[in-house]
């Protein structure tokens, strides 16, 4: 039988500490996650928290620094041909996967082909520019592209670049997500849905001298108050996404540490405009109604009420601080009368819509504020709270009208827009499809001139700001809280928890 410590028991009486948490030894690290990840297969998955787990399990071809520079990981170097159609990568030697399979050029080729061809893969659009993958040496691989792709290296810094054991992938197929086999510093031990994911140190890791933790346990605890109570009780060592209103409390607690980094991503409302029968409703079929909904929302007030001003309101896939932000389309001010006029123009004085939301307190509050604001313009917003993994399943299946959900963001701007807005984008759950948008976003991928790329994104934004398959709301700041015992943690803008050089004092 599991037992909580006395401190945790006291906290549980006060706020309901999550069950299943047990004391850790000196080299064990327990991390509180806001959600439970979806399938643990980099080709099939899509959740932010899944990427946090991958940061410990699955090394990538390249990684990033906190300053967003691309650096080597499993690839030690790379070069482009003059025409931008060939990328040659040299690979790290002496690397093995957790099942003993050697990492080499053949393994990279197998991974890329799986990502591009597996029916369930969500990485197809990210790697669509790769025409062939050729083994040019035991630890060298050459990618030949159908057209130049300025985004490819950045794609390799994320799930598209995560390397799975080709032996395990061939044996398990889509079931690999139940027990992933990669080459990262920690190997998978067990998973209990909605309860825990357990990893242990991989002794054969190529960079093992940088790993000082023996065991990592990820615990999904959606309630931000309970997550923080567990940290204070000593039953967690760190947590991700501390609620903004709790920041001052953590900063003032000498037993805790506080860390933050501005996110690369966004939060918004994805609207089902073409994903099955549930798109056949006024919200999905008429952009004027989506425009009215947007105009009913005061983003600045939303940020103040829910986040005490800690986040950045936004109306695009890039924050206002990004060089990719289109300043010619600033965030529209709330205009209830214009929203009512658009709704009436579309044939409605009042309209009921349903928006699903993850069942954590922060996202629920976001939608409750939106609900109250939209009501003044004639919208009756029905909020459907659901467990996060279920929410994603419903989105993929098209069983929704609107969905309050976000994206953690990517180093290259393409990663925040292409796979959501192109007709065959791997995470286009809206099923929005506009050939003009496809042409613009594909052209932005092919140029290495940032001025040309930005012009294409700006053209696309002018269309998307009217069609509104996603109504952007804000850009969050990643906030972590850690026990004073944890040393060596570095905050990254991608929100990942990298465990190299992390120690427990």
Model confidence at 3, pLDDT cuts 50, 70, 90, reads very low
For the chain, what are the domain ranges?
Answer: 6-34+190-261+484-504, 62-170, 266-475
For residue 22, the model assigns a pLDDT of: 52
Q: What is the mean pLDDT of residues 364-388?
A: 97
How far is Cα 111 from Cα 348, in angstroms, rounded to an integer? 51
Residue 13 has pLDDT above 50, yes or no: no
Quote the tokens at residue 66.
Answer: 């906190």
Q: Does 20 have pLDDT greater than 60? A: no
Q: What is the predicted pLDDT for the residue at 27?
A: 86
Q: Which helix (H) or strand (E) holds 115?
A: helix 105-117
pLDDT at 392 over 50: yes
pLDDT band at 16 (very low <50, low <70, confident <90, very high): very low
Question: In this model, does residue 231 exceed pLDDT 80?
Answer: yes
Q: How many C-beta atoms lie closer than 10 Å to residue 208's C-beta?
A: 12
pLDDT at 44: 97
Nearest to 348 by CA among 282, 254, 280: 282
Residue-level pLDDT at 448 = 84
Q: What is the DSSP letter of 441?
A: H
Q: Are 20 and 195 in contact (CB under 8 A)?
A: yes
In sequence order, the 6+-apart residues with CB closer than 8 A to the CB of 240 are: 31, 32, 33, 34, 49, 52, 478, 480, 495, 497
Structure confidence at residue 282 (pLDDT) = 98
Residues 121-150 have a mean pLDDT of: 96
User: Looking at residue 15, what is its pLDDT?
Assistant: 41
321 or 493: which carries more pLDDT confidence? 493
Residues in the chain: 505
Residue 272's contacts (CB-CB under 8 Å, 6 or more residues apart) are: 278, 279, 283, 284, 398, 400, 401, 402, 403, 429, 430, 431
Residue 9 has pLDDT above 80, yes or no: no
**CATH class held by domain 62-170:** alpha beta
- pLDDT value for 221: 97
User: What digits encode the pLDDT tens for the residues 36-92?
Assistant: 999 999 999 999 999 999 999 999 999 999 988 999 999 999 999 999 999 999 999
Determine how many CB atoms are found less than 10 A away from the CB of residue 65: 11
E strand or H helix that includes residue 171 = helix 166-172
Q: 195-221 pLDDT, tens per residue?
A: 999 999 999 999 999 999 999 999 999
In whole angstroms, what is the distance from residue 486 CA to residue 382 CA? Answer: 42
| Over residues 443-468, mean pLDDT | 96
The structure's pTM equals: 0.84
What pLDDT, on the 0 to 100 scale, is given for residue 505?
87
Distance separating alpha carbons of residues 393 and 405, to the nearest angstrom: 13
Q: What is the DSSP string of 314-343?
A: -SSSS-TTSTT--TTSPPPPP-HHHHHHHH
Residue 7 has pLDDT above 80, yes or no: no
The CATH number of the structural domain formed by 6-34+190-261+484-504 is 3.40.190.10
| 172, 188 contact by CB (below 8 A) | no
Q: Distance between CA 150 and CA 166 in Å, rounded?
A: 27
Share of the chain above pLDDT 70, in %: 95
23: confidence class by pLDDT, cuts 50, 70, 90: low
What is residue 401's predicted lDDT score, i.e. its pLDDT? 98
The mean pLDDT value for 463-481 works out to: 97
Look at residues 432, 352, 370, 366 and name the one whose alpha carbon lies nearest to residue 398: 432
Confidence band, pLDDT 50/70/90 cuts, at residue 8: very low
By mean pLDDT, which of 54-58, 73-77, 258-262, 465-469 is the weakest? 258-262
Greatest Cα pair distance in the chain: 67
CATH topology of domain 266-475: Dipeptide-binding Protein; domain 3 (3.10.105)
What tens digit of pLDDT does each residue of 91-112 get? 999 999 999 999 999 999 999 9
Is the pLDDT confidence value at 491 over 80? Answer: yes
More confident residue, 27 or 344: 344
């Amino acid at each position: 039988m599991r037992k909580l410590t006395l401190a945790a028991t006291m906290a549980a009486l006060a706020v309901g500490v999550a069950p299943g948490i047990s004391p850790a030894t000196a080299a064990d690290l327990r991390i509180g996650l806001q959600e439970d990840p979806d399938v643990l297969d980099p080709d099939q998955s899509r959740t932010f928290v899944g990427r946090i787990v991958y940061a410990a399990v699955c090394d990538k071809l390249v990684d990033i620094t906190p300053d967003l520079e691309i650096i080597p990981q499993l690839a030690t170097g790379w070069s482009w041909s003059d025409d931008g159609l060939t990328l040659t990568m040299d690979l790290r030697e002496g690397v093995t996967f957790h099942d003993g399979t050697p990492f080499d050029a053949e393994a990279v080729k197998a991974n890329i082909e799986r990502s591009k061809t597996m029916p369930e893969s969500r990485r197809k659009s990210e790697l669509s520019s790769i025409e062939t993958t050729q083994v040019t040496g035991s630890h060298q691989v050459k990618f030949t592209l159908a057209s130049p792709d300025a985004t490819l290296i950045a794609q390799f810094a994320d799930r598209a670049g995560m390397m799975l054991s080709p032996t395990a992938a061939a044996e398990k197929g889509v079931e690999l997500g139940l027990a992933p086999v990669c080459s990262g510093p920690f190997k998978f031990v067990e998973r209990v849905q909605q309860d825990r994911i357990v990893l242990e140190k991989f002794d054969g890791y190529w960079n093992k001298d940088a790993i000082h933790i023996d065991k990592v346990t990820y615990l999904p605890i959606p309630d931000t108050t309970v997550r923080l109570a567990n940290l204070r009780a000593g039953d967690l060592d760190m947590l991700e996404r501390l609620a903004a209103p709790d920041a001052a409390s953590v900063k003032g607690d000498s037993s805790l540490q506080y860390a933050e980094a501005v996110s690369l991503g966004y939060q918004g409302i994805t609207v089902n405009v073409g994903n099955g029968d549930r798109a056949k409703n006024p919200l999905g079929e008429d952009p004027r109604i989506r425009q009215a909904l947007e105009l009913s929302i005061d983003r600045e007030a939303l940020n103040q009420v829910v986040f005490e001003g800690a986040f950045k309101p936004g109306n695009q896939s890039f924050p206002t601080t990004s060089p990719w932000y289109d300043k010619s389309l600033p965030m529209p001010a709330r205009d209830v009368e214009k929203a009512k006029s658009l709704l009436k123009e579309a044939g409605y004085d009042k309209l009921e819509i349903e928006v699903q939301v993850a069942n954590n307190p922060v996202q629920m509050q976001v939608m409750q504020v939106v609900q109250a604001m939209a009501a003044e313009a004639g919208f009756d917003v029905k909020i459907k709270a659901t467990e996060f993994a279920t929410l994603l399943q419903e989105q993929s299946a098209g069983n929704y009208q609107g969905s309050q959900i976000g994206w953690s963001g990517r180093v290259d701007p393409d990663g925040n827009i292409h796979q959501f807005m192109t007709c065959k984008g791997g995470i286009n759950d809206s099923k929005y499809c506009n050939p003009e948008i496809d042409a613009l976003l594909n052209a932005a991928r092919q140029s290495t001139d940032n001025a040309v790329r930005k012009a294409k994104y700006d053209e696309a934004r002018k269309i998307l700001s009217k069609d509104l398959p996603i109504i952007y709301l804000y850009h969050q700041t990643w906030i972590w809280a850690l026990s004073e015992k944890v040393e060596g943690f570095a905050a990254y803008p991608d929100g990942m928890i990298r465990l190299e050089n992390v120690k427990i004092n």
